[in-house]
Structure 1
C-alpha cells in the first residue's frame, strides 16, 4: 500500500536530496513548493517526487495543497528541512494502519547538534500542556511529523492556512473524537535556520496564528479572520 507524504517546502534545495533519498519503500513524497527561489521544485522533481506549486504563502496553505494532491488512504506530513528522518515515517503511520489510532504525532526527541532554541521549546511545551487540558490527548509536542487517514482529515474542514494549521488539525480531530497518539522520533540538526522557530520573531508569529486558531475554535473569533 502506498502512503503519500506531504512535505511543505520553501527554499530547501540543500536538504531535499537527503530527505527524498531516505524515503522508505511504499512512501511517496509530495513536495509542495511554496515560492522557493533556490530550485527546490526542480530538484524534487528530478529525485522522483510529485511536485505541487502553491503560490499562496503559508505553511497551512502548503499542507492543504499537498493533502488535496494526495490520493492514498493514509497520508503523512513532515518538514522538508532534514530535521526529521523519513526512515521513521513507518513508526508514525503504523498505529493508523493498524487501526489503533486516528491521528499520530511524532514527538521530537532532540539529538546532539539539533537546534531547538529555548524560546521555541518553551512555547511548544506551553501549547502541549494547553492541548492536554483541552482535549485530553496525551501530547507532549505539536510535532510536524504525523499520520492520519486522508478522507477523514479532509472532512475536518481545516481552514487555517498559516502556522495554525497543525494546531487546528489536533483541535478538530479531538472535537471529532479521534484517537490521538504520540510516538518518539529523532529531532536532528537541520539544514540552515528554521523559518519559524529559528528566530524569536518567527516563533511569535506562529504563536499569534495559533492563538487565533484557539479563539476561532472556541467560537470567540470569526472564521474569516
Structure 2
C-alpha cells in the first residue's frame, strides 16, 4: 500500500460506539492512528479490526494521548480529531490541504454546530473567552480552539510541547505563534457527540480543562 500523506491521530477513551462511523469516513491518503487511553469497552480491538493503527498510552490525559500519537506517526502531515463522532472525517481535507500545500503551518477547524444540542451555550461562551485570551496573548485571531487541526509532524515535534492534559491544543497554538507559524482556521460542521465528553462533559472535567489552559497561558 502507498504511504499515507496524513496520519490522523484519534485520542480514544471508550469510544466503541463511535469508532465504526469515524473510521469508515476517512478521506483517501489518510491513515488512522487510534491512541487508546485506558478504554474498557473494547475500543482498541474495534479500531484494529477496522484497519487503524492502535497505540497504547498508559498515561491518562488528552495531551498524553495526542503526543503519543504524534510520536507514533510517520506521515509528513498529522491531523488530530476526537474519536466521538462530533466531527466528520470527510471534512478533514479542509484542514489538511493547506498544510500539504505548504500554504499554512497550522490549520484549525472552527466548529459550526449543526444543532443546538451539539454545543451547549456555556461551553460556547467558555470557548469564546479562551479565543479572546489567545488573541491577546499571541495576536492570532482565532474564534475556536477546536479539536480538528493539522500541521507538519516534524515541525510539531520541534515545538517540544510539555502539557499532557487539556492544555495541549492551546499550548500548540501558543508555541506555534511564538515560532512565527502561519496559523488559520476554516469552518467545519460540529455534530452532537456520541456519549459524554471525557473532558468537559462534567462540571469537574470542565473546571480541570479551564485550570489546564490557564496554566498554559500563564507560562
- Range into which the TM-score falls when normalised by the shorter chain: over 0.9
Q: Structure 2 matches for 1:21-32, cutoff 5 A?
A: 21-32=24-35
Question: What is residue 124 of structure 1 aligned with on the other side?
Answer: 127
Q: Distance in 1 between matches of 2:85 and 2:65?
A: 17
Give me the whole-angstrom Cα distance separating, in 2, the residues matched to 1:48 and 1:114: 31
Describe how 1:12-91 pairs up with structure 2 within 5 A: 12-91=15-94
Query: Residue 197 in 1 paired to residue 207 in 2?
Result: no
Please give the alpha-carbon distance, in whole angstroms, between the structure 2 residues aligned to 1:74 and 1:212: 28
Match of 2:184 among 181, 184, 203: 181
Unaligned runs of 5+ in 2: none
* Structure 1: stretches of 5+ with no match in the other structure: 217-225
What's the RMSD between the two structures over aligned residues?
1.0
- Of the candidates 168, 183, 200, which is equivalent to residue 165 of structure 1? 168
Tell me the TM-score normalized by structure 2: 0.96
Q: State the 1:196 CA deviation.
A: 1.8
Deviation (angstroms), 1:56: 0.5
Cα gap change, 1:113 to 1:12, in 2 (>3 Å): farther
Shift of the alpha carbon at 1:118?
2.1
Equivalent-residue separation in structure 1 for 2:42 and 2:190 (angstroms): 25
| Residue 199 to residue 116, structure 1, CA distance change in 2 (3 Å) | farther
Number of aligned pairs? 216
Give me the whole-angstrom Cα distance separating, in 2, the residues matched to 1:175 and 1:115: 32
TM-score by length of 1: 0.94
2:143 aligned with 1:140, yes or no?
yes
Q: 2:112 aligns with which of 109, 113, 133?
A: 109
Query: What's the CA shift for 1:197?
Result: 2.2
- The answer to whether the aligner puts 1:94 opposite 2:97 as a matched pair is yes
